[in-house]
Structure 1
Amino acid sequence: MSNPVGAAGEPWQWDEPHWRGLVNQVRAGRRLAPARWKGGARCAVALSFDSDHDTNELRDGGKSIGRMSWGQYGNRVGVPRIIELLDRYGIKASFYVPAVAALLYPDEQKRLVAEGHEIGIHGWIHELNSVLPYEVERDLMFRSTDTLEKITGVRPVGLRTPSWDFSPNTLRIETELGLLYDSSLMADEDCYDLVMDGKSTGIVEVPVEWVRDDAVYFMMNRFQSLRPYTPPKDVLEIFLREFDAAYQAGGLFQLTMHPHIITPRSRIWILEEVIRHAQAKGDVWFATHAEVAAYVKSV
């Protein structure tokens, strides 16, 4: 894969081949939007949880015991609370787990797989791919995949890059892994084929969006200036409007959450209300990201 990053001069001084090369590294190809979803459903709902746990802080040096305890909350309280809720409504979801988090909490991953949920790749220690050379990123991604398979007995078929940080080499490595799908990019609201240097890779993108992520509304760091906070009722309204629009269009409603963020007592009801609202429509297919990717690729 070509890597046009690093040309001399300011961006306004680049020639056209250079800026086109940057743009064309990874692009959205053919839209994969079925006329109807599995079982004749009008809309597909793909719920996901990034089980970062302690790795959010470990990636930054592991200096804050408090932030690591917040990660442990995700395992002790968050994931069990999510599993109970999903089980109550008969829903399967996708969990993206850094390998270090899986090694810290292997029983969590085994339980999720045993109960029919999907485990996806989410880096080694929630590292940022864009700062890594190809060889290091590849080693970490392959080791992460092998680690998740060893713990759960199931080899992952999808990747969500940590912090949705996608390097010029990430898609190449995904093709080397033979993955079915990625869920890190934002070029559409429906699934699409990922194109690398002008050629289809056959990898499906199950697109994400910051507006459909709980962290942007609730995440905070007491040692930094990061202090966003949106009232839970307002977050619910945003999520419901996103779902209603997806339903009207006959498309995909994809939602990203975090066990340590969405599950406090004053917030977990957001997820339940989204589920109840969607199920009330009657013709909605709740599926894992892997199931969505496989379906759109098959029709």
Structure 2
Amino acid sequence: MEYNKWPGNRRSAVMFTFDLDGDTTWENGNRDLPNGGKYIKSLSIGQYGPKRCIDMILDKLDKYGVKATFFVPGVTAERYPEVVKRIDDAGHEIGHHGYAHERFAGKSTEEQIEIIEKSQEIFKKLIGREVTGFRTPSGDWAVDTPKLLYDRGFMYSSSMRGDDRPYRTVIDGSETDFIEIPTKWEVDDYVAMAYNMYPAEPAGQDRISCYKNVQDNFYREFEGHHKYGLCISYMFHPQVIGSPGRIQILEYLLKSIATREDVWVATGTEIADWFRDNN
């Protein structure tokens, strides 16, 4: 099936997403290290995202009239409630990203339900509603995760890697209305530009990728997706893309993509709803 016609007869779809992990990633990475709980410097890298980078990102999105999707762990929402409210008030979408950025793979059914429902309660109190989009932390989930989400009112996920088009998730042997909007490591700023000495990130302690090359890679991926009428989901992290230097990459993408009349830039819910109704 070809996906070269999107709303308004536009050729491709683009989803700008931000994983507002805060310090959860570094907390989890430190936990198994001797005295890891005392590594204040590495925690500050994650804290930089909600404290400083979010406002710069929101300014850029507003400049180009783009509504994005922010996947937020529950504990980050608890620690930075005003940040989450600002994102929501600006008309962006809030999505579920676990509670403490924990891996769903290996969790029991009961543990997953607790994580899902705990964060939903936080969102309900904070922004007045539960959320319906999900991204699994650290890129994997358990076999029963899609069913647990769908049974609890979730309408889409942006977690998998195996396609460049949305698709209906198969649950209990049948296609469902639970839509997957795949993303790719190739358009993840974290794998290209996140860096820390201890714990080592990346593990091999390679240098941070050249910003110009990362920008070129990200845009080439868009060009390829656009050529074939596909859907690209950029996966950014505020503490990475939101620094004064790297946010220029984001601005380049927004300026080059969001101003095109033949591109549909949308949130996860908008893409999932359209796909569900038209495919």
TM-score (norm 2): 0.91
Partner of 2:205: 227
Which piece of structure 1 moves more, 160-169 or 62-71? Answer: 62-71
1:68 Cα offset (Å): 1.5
3-state SS, counterpart of residue 94 of structure 2: strand
Alignment partner, residue 190 of structure 1: 165
When structure 1 is superposed on structure 2, of 57-66 and 147-156 the one drifting more is 57-66
Query: What is the Cα deviation at residue 215 of structure 1?
Result: 0.7
Aligned 1:1-299 pairs, distance under 5 A: 34-60=3-29, 61=31, 62-223=37-198, 224=200, 225-228=203-206, 229-299=208-278
Structure with max Cα Rg: 1
Q: Find the counterpart in structure 2 of residue 20 from structure 1.
A: none
User: Which residue in 2 is equivalent to 1:4?
Assistant: none
8 A contact 1:51–1:258 mirrored in 2: yes
For 2:103 and 2:258, locate their aligned partners in 1 and report how far apart those are by CA, in whole Å. Answer: 36
State the 1:38 CA deviation: 1.8
The Cα of 1:126 is off from its aligned counterpart by: 0.5
Q: Tell me what 1:26 maps to.
A: none
Q: CA separation in 1, counterparts of 2:221 and 2:58?
A: 23
8 Å Cα contact 1:34-1:296 kept in structure 2: no
Aligned in 2, Cα 1:200/1:57: closer, same or farther, shift over 3 Å? same
Letter in 2 for 1:252: C
Identity %: 35
When the two chains are superposed, the root-mean-square deviation of aligned CA atoms in Å is 1.5
Which residue identity lines up with residue 254 of structure 1 in the other structure? Answer: S
Cα distance change of structure 1 residues 226 and 186 upon mapping to structure 2, 3 Å threshold:
same
Deviation track 1:79-108 (CA, whole Å, cap 9, x = no partner) reads: 111000000111100000000000000011
**TM-score normalized with structure 1 length:** 0.86
Aligned residue for 1:27? none
Counterpart of 1:44 in structure 2: which amino acid? A
Deviates more, 1:121-130 or 1:190-199: 190-199
The number of aligned residues is 268
Once residues 4 and 65 of structure 2 are traced to their aligned partners in structure 1, the CA distance between those partners, rounded to angstroms, is 25
Distance in 2 of aligned mates of 1:120 and 1:56: 17
**Structure 2: which amino acid aligns with 1:67?**
S
> Gaps spanning 5+ residues in structure 2: where?
32-36
CA distance in 2, matches of 1:146, 1:280: 37
Residues in 1 aligned to 2:81 and 2:132: alpha-carbon distance in whole angstroms: 19
Q: Is the 8 A contact 1:58 1:125 kept in 2?
A: no
